[in-house]
Amino acid sequence: MINKVVANADEALKGIEDGMTIMMGGFGLCGIPENSITALIKKGTKNLTCISNNAGVDDFGLGLLLQTKQIKKMISSYVGENAEFERQMLSGELEVDLIPQGTLATRCLMAGYGIPFFPTPAGVGTEVANGKQIINWKGRDYLMEEAFEADFAIVKAWKGDTAGNLIFKSTARNFNQPMSMGGKITIAEVEELVPAGQLQPDQIHTPGIYVHRIFQGNNYEKRIEQRTVRKK
Amino acid sequence: MLDKNGIAKRIAKEVKDGMYVNLGIGIPTLVANFIPEGINVELQSENGILGMGHFPFEGEEDADLINAGKQTVTLLDGASIFDSAMSFGMIRAQKVDLTILGAMEVSESGDIANWKIPGKMVKGMGGAMDLVASAKNIIVAMQHVNKAGESKLLPKCELPLTGIKCVKKIVTELAVLEVLPEGGFKLLERAPGVSVEEIKKATAGKLIIEGEVPEMVI
């Protein structure tokens, strides 16, 4: 069995250089690769293009990489939770490409499926269509969207094995699964790393072929963005 | 005139047994509270849930289980979880029967604007563009006029569009209106105590009134 295990986040991030494009898994703060974000700050890599549905909050998640000004460009669908993001965007320090959420998820997935383009009705007739090829199929207009080309994808899974197979937990699956298949090099940090053979093959969400480096993370904070509860 | 819960309550009457429904943030989220007993629906949350339930009891919240509004939620029996690409796959394939969302403007041809105010507010479209481009049936829940007192039902949207020719029905604090395929807002119902004249005054787009307009029953 091929062994994908690396010692820690620092080792996993080897080869990430200034100016590279990185997919970052998670939805809001749910399922973000906390250990890798911390290691990336320590590493100090600059001018990154980040593909991530959201940009974290001011003091957590990708918001931390915005504070250190390591991100040159964000490709996201919704960035409403982050004041520093808004400030950098309005001042022109940060380039931002806002794209529909389904388009974002699918462009990640396609990179792992070997599909270069896909037609989608999302954004037809809006400013998202500017500069894009439009095709008409059976009487309906579609925008042609390209697969992402990311140097690295960094994802967080619940369980993983030494062969790189991944299982996600609950809605922390979100963008982590499509992104885990979409990087030229995929790094997975997991809450529990087990020997090959310990995971049920038919319960695996991402097969290890897509995952190049895996390590067991620690000290997960798992911050909740909107704690909504009801009384017993 | 209806309050937010009133709007949600009226929209809940549009939800039929067996539907898969996606609820947007704000008033649409409240609709879940008013779905009548005996009507079985499954709520879809576009980050990747079918069969979303209530908020968790205090102390039982799970950081790994949130809805598209990033709120902690629970799952009902029969729920399923999937990744965000599959979630938008089922939306694009029109498996979701009804989408209920908020809007800043709707035009008389069914265009919707709800994601950006140039120079002021740029939060992003999230899943709204995908949802409105593919949904079979879209109901908009919103206030009839904005905070400046200007109509949000317009001949043409002024803000950047989210989607074109897609809104089928609008429920506001004043009225229920249908967007006709040939264009125009057809007045279907008045909110309790609201006159046709008041609705006319608050509607900048083409308003179509045929015969007596009944008062809503909610």
* pLDDT tens, position by position, A19-28: 999 999 999 9
**Residue-wise pLDDT tens digits, B12-43:** 999 999 999 999 988 999 999 999 989 999 99
Between CA B112 and CA B24, with CA B177 as vertex, the angle to 5 degrees is 45
Question: Is the Cβ pair B124, A80 closer than 8 Å?
Answer: yes
Query: Mean pLDDT throughout A52-69?
Result: 95
What integer pLDDT is reported at residue A193 of this predicted model?
Answer: 98
What integer pLDDT is reported at residue B122 of this predicted model?
Answer: 80
Residue A1 has pLDDT above 90, yes or no: no
Query: Which residue of B64, B162, B165 is in closest CB contact with A170?
Result: B64
ipTM over 0.85? The verdict is: yes
Query: Mean pLDDT throughout A105-126?
Result: 97
Task: Work out the mean pLDDT of chain A and round it to a whole number.
Answer: 96
Between CA A104 and CA A115, with CA A109 as vertex, the angle to 5 degrees is 105
Residue B120 — very low, low, confident or very high, per pLDDT cuts 50/70/90?
Answer: confident
Number of CB pairs, chain A paired with chain B, less than 8 A apart? 182
Task: Tell me the shortest Cα–Cα distance from A29 to chain B, in angstroms.
Answer: 8
Kindly state whether A98 is in contact with chain B, defined as any CB-CB distance less than 8 angstroms: yes
What integer pLDDT is reported at residue B26 of this predicted model?
Answer: 87
Task: Work out the mean pLDDT of chain B and round it to a whole number.
Answer: 96
Q: A75-84, A98-107, B79-88, B103-112 — which is least confidently predicted?
A: A75-84
Q: Which residues of B touch A231 (CB under 8 A)?
A: 57-58
Query: Which residue of B59, B69, B127 is in closest CB contact with A100?
Result: B127
Of all residues in chain A, the percent with pLDDT exceeding 70 is 100
Residue B133 near residue B167 (C-beta atoms within 8 A): no
Here the tokens at position A5 are 């295990």
Q: What φ, ψ does residue A111 adopt, rounded to 5°? A: -60, -30
Determine the Cα–Cα distance for residues A20 and A40; give it in Å rounded to an integer: 12
Query: Mean pLDDT throughout A42-60?
Result: 96
Question: Residues near A114 by Cβ (< 8 Å), separated by ≥ 6?
Answer: none
**Residue-wise pLDDT tens digits, B42-93:** 999 999 999 999 999 999 999 999 999 999 999 999 999 999 999 999 999 9
Kindly state whether B117 is in contact with chain A, defined as any CB-CB distance less than 8 angstroms: no
Kindly state whether A145 is in contact with chain B, defined as any CB-CB distance less than 8 angstroms: no
What integer pLDDT is reported at residue A84 of this predicted model?
Answer: 87
Mutation target among B22, B46, B47 for the A interface, most CBs of A within 10 A: B47
Determine the Cα–Cα distance for residues B79 and B76; give it in Å rounded to an integer: 6
